[in-house]
Amino acid sequence: MMAPETKKNRLGLSVEAYLGGLSTLCKGCGHDAITRHIIEAFFDYGVAPHEVAKMSGIGCSSKTAGYFMSRSSGLNALHGRMPSIATGANVANRSLKVIGISGDGDTASIGLGQFCHLLRRNVSLIYVIENNGVYGLTKGQFSATADPGSKLKSGTVNPYDAIDCAVLAIELGCGFVARSFAGDGAQVVSLLKAALSHPGAALLDIISPCVAFNNHEGSTKSYPFVRKIDAPLHGLDFTSGFAEISAQYPEGAVQELKLPDGSSLNLKKLSRDYDPTDRAAALRTLEESREKGELVTGLLYYDAGKKDFNATENLTDTPLCRLAEKELRPSPDALRRIMERYG
Amino acid sequence: MPFNPRRVVNDFTIEAATVNGSGSQTSNLILTHSIFRMGVPVGPKNVFPSNIAGLPTWYILRVNENGFLARKRSLEILVCLNPATYAKDIARVDPGGAVIYESSYALPESAKRKDIAYYPVPFDHLAARHIAEVKLKKPLTNMIYVGVLAELLGIEASAVEGAVRHQLQGKAGAIRANLDAIELGKKYAKENLKKTDPFFIERRDKTKGKILIDGNSSAALGCLFGGCTVAAWYPITPASSLTESLIDFFAQHRKDASGKNTYCVIQAEDEIAALGVVIGAGWAGARAMTATSGPGICLMSEFVGLGYYAEIPAVIFDVQRIGPSTGLPTRTAQGDIQFVATLSHGDTKQVMLLPATVQECFEFSVQAFDLAERLQTPVFVMSDLDLGMNLWLTDPFNYPQKPFDRGKVLSEEELSRRGEFARYLDVDGDGICYRTYPGNSHPKAAYLTRGSGHNEQAAYTEDGAAYQKVIDRLNKKFETSRTLLPEPETDYRPGAAVGILAYGSTHQAVAEARRILQESGIETNYLRIRSYPFQKRPVEAFFEKCRTVVVVEQNRDAQMAQILKLEIPSEHAAKIRSVLHYDGFPIPAEALVEGIAAKAGPTDASAPVIAAGEE
């Protein structure tokens, strides 16, 4: 009998090459589901693991950088500071595919400033917020993305409005803004693959229930509640630019977004017309869904036209970290001429 | 006042008291470069307020043909162009000095001194009558005093013109307008003022081949030649001009063949993000720097801890200013030494370079990138406002001779050869481990760098023994760093019993104080610490040879003395006396002489005792 053939991606790697260390998160944690989606997306897309840099801050979400792609380098840094280290790594080595993992505390509270400025610069990376509305590692305090009126396990009601990172991202000019749910693997994987094809910053705000502290009655980020309010904007189907066959759709049913690497994201119409390239419509839809108490998911906003940070900074094609001394240290004559200016 | 027959040549201090934002900086620089072009050494100190326009500012220019250019208390020539301060300013002029002032000021009785020469000049009137363009009237009013001084002191026209051309690099219209304004002052002085003061500039050749440069530009040049590719910063006085100079140097010298940048400068949202970018870039294998001052260092402390513990190279310039808190943003200090030495929480020890001259600002800056990568840790270059923002006379910098030292980095080939890789394993026994860059395709190259507890394999751990192993090895690395850092510099004099121990920008004042003490018969030994940690042997030898050691610092708490006491045997520590100066101004040479005399105790068996030592 022949051994079953393991599936290989376009690089000839099997999914084992994308696995990470064992998770120490709680059984059933939304973050672990997202970890699996990341592995699937990066494997499917065919990203070379050593070309990936995994950057994270502090919190349950940030720990997951250790749970996928052990053959990728990573930097698990400081609370709220993932954007700055990701920016530094990105400019130092522009050939790295950077994925930043953060949480709602990491991004919407202590790291809100860095989050905004990373988007403003349009640094090339996939920014994943594993958003559960609570601080898990410190045992269940509200975060700034907790919805008003939602309840802690203790019964405490959150009196404050939530910070919506997706709305912020659209306002800050991010060219790829998506929202999804850890429980919707197909959607998360499609969005991640599309994000891999996007040259600038791609934000994925993924609702990721905390089974320990925020999965009870009265929570608005529990598995049952999110399943109830989840309102996908469209069905998503990612077609790799590297694949030979592309899917056929009946005319009018699909909006095809061409991505810069030759891939495309096909948006299958569901209950409504939604054009993610219309920024005003995106903001309006988010506001209306907030009023209705539904959670719209999918690709909220897309703009391929914006220059990424490396282009804005006019960076040389060779990664800065690979430039040799002869390219970096000006000549003795250059020093002599500089010195003359001070004489 | 009768003409003073005593000629004082090339040895005095000129001070220009003006209003911030009035364009006086150009005039002051032209005056400085004019005297420099007369071949006479000059040392300026720009005393400026934390303000854009309106508050008083003073430009203090020491002229000394023997090259002693530290700040002095004495003031011989004063230019009064600030109605808000002139009465107080005049009171500070030494007897026998001279005052050039705006003649419309009504001098109060207290300012009408008999022991100084007065030169009233109608600056405003001259400007109003002769300078046509309205927006140039104010800045060019200041230029008039350059002409008055040139006439009174005998600065040659060619030197002034050379200075104007140098300062205004090729801007023909501006050169003409400034030269005209200078001529206005010169002519007025010639026709209306009778010189009664004794001060003259005479041509010498003491500045031949030398340059005038500030420490921040020098450090920026070090970054350029040290191979820095990523700079991230947040504007702060007095460090901004370091990165701004670097931006200029980069723009001129770092383009690839297609005109793209071989560098990236990021003006971050705060100092936390600035160091975050640097740490991220250093982790990815680029040479990265940030420049800041005390408040920025405070914000950076958490990232510094990550850099120390996760062992990521970074170069951090601390151009020190007066603290605590916002403090005096435009005044100098050496107040961050103890803070930076153990910056960040937990057990940390940071590496500091302590430049004393603009030459060292350049050299240590180049070296800092090698050290950061060799030691895989943040390296601090501790400059200060005085060194960083003032111009200093120096020989041109030598081209760096040593090639880059990128430290212990394993390539794919080297990993294949070794077969094994553990990021935090002390393979060589020097406490410095091997690293890989992200992007290395060898299957064993990748690891997750973390600021949380980790073992030698870089895996997460809460195991006490595994944690301790790493943190002890970091201490070993710190000890190794002593041998790689710049050695202390010493100068021993025969018969000297007193030692002076200093670091950083007080060097020039120490040199002059030693000369003054020597002239009064007191020889001193001198040791200058150039890094922390420092090599212990030369420091201990210095203590062995000195009866007392006066540690000179520009802070209140004797910070280096405190560090020394932890590092040297107690019998040596008992010899320490401190001379401290912390009013925000560079220590004047006279104050240093007095301080040393008061603290040193018996200076020599045969020499006269100049003061009782403080015990």
For B285-312, what is each residue's pLDDT tens digit?
999 999 999 999 999 999 999 999 999 9
For B29-42, what is each residue's pLDDT tens digit?
999 999 999 999 99
Residues of the domain holding A90 = 15-321
Confidence of residue A75 (pLDDT cuts 50, 70, 90): very high
Least-confidence region, from A160-169, B168-177, B221-230: B168-177
- DSSP β-bridge partners for residue B461: none
User: For position B611, what pLDDT does the model report?
Assistant: 39
Distance separating alpha carbons of residues A84 and B299, to the nearest angstrom = 14
H or E element, residue A117: helix A112-121
Residues from chain B that touch A87, judged by Cβ atoms under 8 A, are: 266, 273, 276-277, 280
Tell which residue, B446, B370, B367, B365, has the closest CA to residue B407: B370
Interface contact B285-A321, CB threshold 8 A: yes
In a domain, A9, yes or no: no
Interface of B with A in 186-215 (CB under 8 A): 209-213
Q: Burial of B173 by CB count in 10 Å (0-12 exposed, 13-18 middle, 19+ buried)?
A: exposed
Does residue A319 carry a pLDDT above 90? yes
Tell which residue, B544, B496, B506, B559, has the closest CA to residue B528: B506
Based on the fold, state whether residues B265 and B378 are members of the same structural domain. Answer: yes
**Which among A86, A92, A332 has CB closest to B285?**
A92
In a domain, A340, yes or no: no
H or E element, residue B319: strand B314-322
**Which among A70, A83, A86 has CB closest to B446?**
A70
Distance separating alpha carbons of residues B436 and B285, to the nearest angstrom = 9
**Interchain CB contact of B170 with A (< 8 Å):** no
In a domain, B546, yes or no: yes
How far away is chain A from the Cα of B150, in angstroms, using its nearest Cα?
20
How far away is chain A from the Cα of B236, in angstroms, using its nearest Cα?
19
Decide if B488 contacts B527 (C-beta within 8 A): yes
Strands (E), B25-155: 42-47, 56-64, 77-80, 98-102, 117-121
Backbone phi, psi, residue A235, to 5°: -85, 140
Most B CBs within 10 Å, among A18, A47, A172, A339, to test the B interface? A339
Does residue B614 carry a pLDDT above 50? no
Cα separations in angstroms, A53 against A69, A89, A126, B146: 10, 8, 11, 59
Helix ranges (DSSP H) in B350-450: 358-375, 385-389, 412-418
Interface contact A88-B232, CB threshold 8 A: yes
Nearest Cα residue in chain A from B391: A342
Based on the fold, state whether residues B199 and B164 are members of the same structural domain. Answer: yes
How far away is chain B from the Cα of A295, in angstroms, using its nearest Cα?
32
In a domain, B166, yes or no: yes
Cβ atoms < 10 Å from Cβ of B221: 26
- DSSP β-bridge partners for residue A128: A101, A204
Based on the fold, state whether residues B106 and B235 are members of the same structural domain. Answer: no
In a domain, A332, yes or no: no
Does residue B178 carry a pLDDT above 70? yes
Angle at B96 between CA B93 and CA B99, to 5 degrees: 50
How far away is chain B from the Cα of A15, in angstroms, using its nearest Cα?
15
Q: Burial of B555 by CB count in 10 Å (0-12 exposed, 13-18 middle, 19+ buried)?
A: buried
**Interchain CB contact of B304 with A (< 8 Å):** no
Confidence of residue B380 (pLDDT cuts 50, 70, 90): very high
Across chain B, mean pLDDT equals 95
In a domain, B406, yes or no: no
For B237-280, what is each residue's pLDDT tens digit?
999 999 999 999 999 999 999 999 999 999 999 999 999 999 99
Tokens 């200075």, residue located? B163
Distance separating alpha carbons of residues B435 and B19, to the nearest angstrom = 54
Written as one string, the DSSP assignment of A219-257 is -SSSHHHHHHHEEESEEEEEE-TT-S------TTSEEEE
**Number of domains forming the structure of chain B:** 4
For B381-426, what is each residue's pLDDT tens digit?
999 999 999 999 999 999 999 999 999 999 999 999 999 999 999 9
Based on the fold, state whether residues B41 and B167 are members of the same structural domain. Answer: yes
Backbone phi, psi, residue B63, to 5°: -115, 125
Does residue A244 carry a pLDDT above 90? no
Does residue B610 carry a pLDDT above 80? no
Is the preceding peptide bond at B238 cis, omega within 30 degrees of 0? yes
Based on the fold, state whether residues B148 and B39 are members of the same structural domain. Answer: yes
Tell which residue, A274, A29, A53, A290, has the closest CA to residue A166: A290
Written as one string, the DSSP assignment of A74-108 is EEE--TT-HHHHHHHHHHH-TTSEEEEEEEHHHHH
User: For position A251, what pLDDT does the model report?
Assistant: 67
Interface contact A327-B212, CB threshold 8 A: no
Interface contact B283-A329, CB threshold 8 A: no
Distance separating alpha carbons of residues B562 and B565, to the nearest angstrom = 5
**Number of domains forming the structure of chain A:** 1
Based on the fold, state whether residues B353 and B372 are members of the same structural domain. Answer: yes
How far away is chain A from the Cα of B230, in angstroms, using its nearest Cα?
7
Distance separating alpha carbons of residues A229 and A296, to the nearest angstrom = 8
Assembly ipTM: 0.97
Residues of the domain holding B143 = 8-208
Interface of B with A in 242-281 (CB under 8 A): 249, 253-254, 256, 258-264, 266, 268-270, 272-281
In a domain, A342, yes or no: no
Distance separating alpha carbons of residues A2 and B537, to the nearest angstrom = 72
Confidence of residue B133 (pLDDT cuts 50, 70, 90): confident
Distance separating alpha carbons of residues A198 and A176, to the nearest angstrom = 8
Does residue B58 carry a pLDDT above 50? yes
**Mean pLDDT, residues B80-87:** 92
For A287-318, what is each residue's pLDDT tens digit?
999 999 999 999 999 998 999 999 999 999 99
Nearest Cα residue in chain A from B214: A342
H or E element, residue B394: strand B391-394
**Which among B253, B260, B460 has CB closest to A314?**
B260
Tokens 């053959």, residue located? A71
In a domain, B402, yes or no: no
Here the tokens at position A167 are 């709305």
Based on the fold, state whether residues B329 and B424 are members of the same structural domain. Answer: no
Based on the fold, state whether residues B145 and B41 are members of the same structural domain. Answer: yes
Based on the fold, state whether residues B442 and B520 are members of the same structural domain. Answer: no
User: For position B365, what pLDDT does the model report?
Assistant: 98
Find the CATH number of the domain harbouring A226.
3.40.50.970
Confidence of residue B4 (pLDDT cuts 50, 70, 90): low
For B547-605, what is each residue's pLDDT tens digit?
999 999 999 999 999 999 999 999 999 999 999 999 999 999 999 999 999 988 876 54
Cα separations in angstroms, A103 against A106, A135, A142, A147: 5, 9, 13, 15
In a domain, B3, yes or no: no
For B135-147, what is each residue's pLDDT tens digit?
888 889 999 999 9
Q: Burial of B346 by CB count in 10 Å (0-12 exposed, 13-18 middle, 19+ buried)?
A: exposed
- Out of B208, B227, B247, a domain closes at B208
pLDDT above 70 coverage of chain B, percent: 97
Find the CATH number of the domain harbouring B561.
3.40.50.920
Pairing of strands A141-142, A134-135: antiparallel
Distance separating alpha carbons of residues B299 and B273, to the nearest angstrom = 9
What is the phi-psi region of residue B414: left when phi exceeds 0, alpha when psi lies from -120 to 50, beta otherwise? alpha
- Report which DSSP code applies to A316: -
Tokens 């690395």, residue located? B477
In a domain, B126, yes or no: yes
Confidence of residue A246 (pLDDT cuts 50, 70, 90): low
Interface contact A321-B441, CB threshold 8 A: no
Residues from chain B that touch A117, judged by Cβ atoms under 8 A, are: 268-269, 273
In a domain, A93, yes or no: yes
In a domain, B607, yes or no: no
Does residue A150 carry a pLDDT above 80? yes
Based on the fold, state whether residues B78 and B192 are members of the same structural domain. Answer: yes
Residues from chain A that touch B314, judged by Cβ atoms under 8 A, are: none
In a domain, A82, yes or no: yes
Most B CBs within 10 Å, among A47, A58, A73, A90, to test the B interface? A73
Based on the fold, state whether residues B222 and B203 are members of the same structural domain. Answer: no
Based on the fold, state whether residues B280 and B369 are members of the same structural domain. Answer: yes
Cβ atoms < 10 Å from Cβ of A266: 20
In a domain, B70, yes or no: yes
User: For position B21, what pLDDT does the model report?
Assistant: 86
Q: Rg of chain A over CA atoms, in angstroms? A: 21
